[in-house]
Amino acid sequence: MYKAWTVEIWRLIGALLTGLVIGLFTEAYAWSLLFTLLLYIGWQFYQLYRFHRWLLTGRRSEPPPASGVWGELMYEHYRLHMRNRKRKKKVARLLRRFTDTSAAMPDAAVILDRHFQIEWFNDAAGRLLGLKPQDVGRRITHLLRHPAFIAYVTGEDYRETVEFPGPLDIDLRLNARIVPYGDKQYLLSVRDVTRLYRLEEMRRDFVANVSHELRTPLTVITGYLETLTDMDEVEPVRPLMVQVKSQAERMRRIVEDLLALARLETRNLNPADMQEVPVPALVAGIAEDARVLSGERQQTIVTEVDADLRLRGAPSELHSAFANLVSNAVRYTQDGGRIVVRWYADDAGAHFEVEDNGIGIEPQHLPRLTERFYRVESDRSRASGGTGLGLAIVKHVLQRHGASLRIDSQPGRGSRFTCDFPPDMVVPGGGTVRAAGG
Ligand code: ADP
């Protein structure tokens, strides 16, 4: 830089000296100086003109040769321009690669702004969701109007995914997930899960059909076994008959539980199923049944119930879920143990809780307890009449009621199973906690 300016200053000094020398000969110093200065300014104008012309031609060729400050100015400009061009090319290449990849992606990808308005979408989004270029800027919930999808988007809890039928072809089953990123931006990704859904449907139908088909012959078999065990002729094989009868009874219970699960899975809870459930009365009945089940085992079954607390839900389903938890407590608590059944509300909603001081569960089993046929100790479960399906039924019923199951347990100390119902499922009205022994 300094060199260029030194050249420039020398050039000016040169022009002035030339003016002085001419002045020496002509003896008209002022005119001579003016003349050389004008020449100098003219030369500067000419450089400016060349620079301008080069800029206007699009700076494609190298800058015209120039020395001093002008040379540096043009060269520096040219260098920056070339660097920018390279960068632009790189960004364009990246962008092309990104659009090519996203176009080849089988999943729909839609970028949404903070108001869920579409900013960009890929080709698959056009195919699966029917989005068109003119939809950019429109709200996604105005275009995909399935209630489950709208509830998912507006619910702002994106840990789970949501399934809904395709807007263009209702035979398609789509699975959507929203991933928040950056400053309140969202990526909506939608997969076609039709094949998986059909397989799952086939599995459900198969289990439901098999259970249904087995139900009648099993009823007949248990009926005949009942009659046979009562006959005097079977006296020599009576212990055997009792065994057979108890196994047939177990099969019947498994079939009933499988059918109950199939019903929970195939039919959605519709508003007609939802009633005001008098949970306190329900709990009293369940506790009574539990005392019968406990029989001679000297267990104490206590209820602590908010007598005015009611819930919106399907009564038979809630009965089945609560009864399963209480019967588990009876079956997995030693003779003389204590079981407390609670029904109460707090700020987080309503809670149904069963606490026992029974055998408890090792922590590694807890995440898997609600899987079908998952048992900590198969023998103990079977011996106590368990089907291995009880907690799976509980989980499904709770899911359908927007509730969740919490399990706290310590081996050898006991367990606490809590069903947490959201506040909007509670029927308004307050009450006090009352205790009843048993
Ligand atoms: P099961 O018919 O075998 O009881 P569940 O699905 O109801 O099936 O329960 C799954 C497993 O969870 C049981 O086999 C048992 O090992 C364990 N479990 C359930 N409730 C309790 C409890 N209150 N105390 C200890 N273990 C329990």
Distance CA 166, CA 176 (A): 11
Residue 129, CA distances (Å) to 100, 154, 195 in order: 19, 18, 17
Residue 328 sits in the same domain as residue 208: no
Ligand 1 within 6 A of 326 CB? no
Q: 438 lies in a domain?
A: no
The CATH number given to whatever domain includes residue 130 is 3.30.450.20
Tally the residues of the chain: 438
Mean pLDDT of the chain: 91
Asked if 167 contacts 148 with a C-beta cutoff of 8 angstroms, the reply is: no
Domain termination residue (choose one: 164, 192, 220)? 192
Q: 435 lies in a domain?
A: no
Residue nearest to atom 23 of ligand 1 (CA): 329
**Residues 405, 209, 220, 222, CA torsion sign:** negative
Domain termination residue (choose one: 242, 266, 290)? 266
Residue nearest to atom 25 of ligand 1 (CA): 360
Distance CA 358, CA 101 (A): 57
Residue 279 sits in the same domain as residue 262: no
The CATH number given to whatever domain includes residue 357 is 3.30.565.10
Residue 37 sits in the same domain as residue 109: no
Q: Cα of 194 to ligand 1 centre, how many Å?
A: 34
Distance CA 7, CA 361 (A): 90
Residue 79 sits in the same domain as residue 223: no
Q: Across residues 353-374, what is the average pLDDT? A: 95
Q: Across residues 92-119, what is the average pLDDT? A: 91
Residue 280 sits in the same domain as residue 412: yes
> Tell me, what's the pLDDT at 419?
98
Ligand 1 within 6 A of 376 CB? yes
> Tell me, what's the pLDDT at 206?
93
Q: What number of H helices and E strands is found in the chain? A: 12, 14
Residue 122 sits in the same domain as residue 221: no
Q: Categorize the per-residue pLDDT at 436 as very low, low, confident or very high, splitting at 50, 70 and 90.
A: very low
Kindly give the pairing relationship between strand 108-112 and strand 118-121: antiparallel
Q: Would the pLDDT of 433 be above 80?
A: no
> HSE (CB half, 13 Å, CA atoms) of 106?
5
Q: 61 lies in a domain?
A: yes
In the sheet that holds 426-427, the strands lie side by side as 275-277, 310-313, 426-427
Q: Across residues 405-431, what is the average pLDDT? A: 91
Ligand 1 within 6 A of 369 CB? yes
Asked if 107 contacts 189 with a C-beta cutoff of 8 angstroms, the reply is: yes
Residue 277 sits in the same domain as residue 363: yes
> Tell me, what's the pLDDT at 438?
43
Q: 371 lies in a domain?
A: yes
Ligand 1 within 6 A of 262 CB? no
Q: Would the pLDDT of 430 be above 80?
A: no
Which spans in 156-278 are helix H?
A: 194-230, 238-266
Residue 250 sits in the same domain as residue 138: no
Question: What is the DSSP-derived secondary structure letter of residue 236?
Answer: G
User: Which atom number of ligand 1 is nearest to the Cα of residue 359?
Assistant: 25
Ligand 1 within 6 A of 359 CB? yes
Determine the distance from the C-alpha atom of residue 42 to the mean position of all C-alpha atoms in its chain, rounded to a whole number: 73
Ligand 1 within 6 A of 375 CB? yes
Asked if 290 contacts 330 with a C-beta cutoff of 8 angstroms, the reply is: yes
Angle at 203 between CA 200 and CA 209, to 5 degrees: 140
Q: 311 lies in a domain?
A: yes
Distance CA 180, CA 153 (A): 11
pLDDT digits (tens, 9 = 90+) for 123-134: 999 999 999 999
Q: 186 lies in a domain?
A: yes
Among 129, 195, 131, which Cα is nearest to 166's? 129
Q: Would the pLDDT of 144 be above 80?
A: yes
Domain termination residue (choose one: 76, 98, 120)? 98
Distance CA 396, CA 145 (A): 26
Residue 107, CA distances (Å) to 73, 182, 189, 193, 416 in order: 51, 21, 7, 10, 42
Ligand 1 within 6 A of 408 CB? no
Q: Categorize the per-residue pLDDT at 209 as very low, low, confident or very high, splitting at 50, 70 and 90.
A: very high
User: Which atom number of ligand 1 is nearest to the Cα of residue 324?
Assistant: 7
Q: 246 lies in a domain?
A: yes
Residue 304 sits in the same domain as residue 418: yes
Residue 90 sits in the same domain as residue 219: no
Dump the DSSP string for 81-149: HHHHHHHHHHHHHHHHHHHHHHHH-SSEEEEE-TT-BEEEE-HHHHHHH---GGGTTSBHHHH---HHH
Q: Would the pLDDT of 434 be above 50?
A: no
**Residues 234, 239, 244, 249, CA torsion sign:** positive
> Tell me, what's the pLDDT at 432?
42
pLDDT digits (tens, 9 = 90+) for 235-253: 889 889 988 988 998 999 9
The CATH number given to whatever domain includes residue 259 is 1.10.287.130
Q: Cα of 401 to ligand 1 centre, how many Å?
A: 22
Which amino acid, one-letter code, is at 38? L
Residue with structure tokens 């398609």? 172
Q: Categorize the per-residue pLDDT at 190 as very low, low, confident or very high, splitting at 50, 70 and 90.
A: very high
Q: Across residues 379-408, what is the average pLDDT? A: 92
Question: What is the DSSP-derived secondary structure letter of residue 423?
Answer: G
Q: Report the SS3 class of residue 332.
A: coil
Ligand 1 within 6 A of 332 CB? yes
Q: Cα of 426 to ligand 1 centre, how many Å?
A: 28
Residue nearest to atom 10 of ligand 1 (CA): 375
Q: What's the domain range around 169?
A: 105-192
Q: Across residues 392-408, what is the average pLDDT? A: 95
Phi/psi at 155 (5° precision): -70, -20
Q: Cα of 192 to ligand 1 centre, how many Å?
A: 36
Residue with structure tokens 């079956």? 331
Q: Report the SS3 class of residue 356.
A: strand
pLDDT digits (tens, 9 = 90+) for 296-316: 999 999 999 999 999 999 999
Bridge partners of 339, per DSSP, are 301, 356
Q: Cα of 375 to ligand 1 centre, how many Å?
A: 6
Q: Among 119-123, 178-182, 261-265, 270-274, where is mean pLDDT lowest?
A: 270-274
Determine the distance from the C-alpha atom of residue 321 to the mean position of all C-alpha atoms in its chain, rounded to a whole number: 26
Q: Would the pLDDT of 115 be above 50?
A: yes
Kindly give the pairing relationship between strand 338-346 and strand 300-306: parallel
User: Which atom number of ligand 1 is nearest to the Cα of residue 393?
Assistant: 6
Q: Categorize the per-residue pLDDT at 437 as very low, low, confident or very high, splitting at 50, 70 and 90.
A: very low
Please give the tally of structural domains in the chain: 4
Q: 436 lies in a domain?
A: no
Residue 301 sits in the same domain as residue 413: yes
Q: Categorize the per-residue pLDDT at 431 as very low, low, confident or very high, splitting at 50, 70 and 90.
A: very low
Ligand 1 within 6 A of 328 CB? yes
Residue 53 sits in the same domain as residue 171: no
Q: Across residues 427-432, what is the average pLDDT? A: 64
Q: Would the pLDDT of 435 be above 60?
A: no
Residue 18, CA distances (Å) to 23, 25, 26, 205, 303 in order: 8, 11, 12, 106, 115
Angle between helix axes 238-266 and 390-400 (nearest 10 degrees) is: 20
Q: Across residues 86-91, what is the average pLDDT? A: 95
Ligand 1 within 6 A of 110 CB? no
Q: Categorize the per-residue pLDDT at 187 as very low, low, confident or very high, splitting at 50, 70 and 90.
A: very high
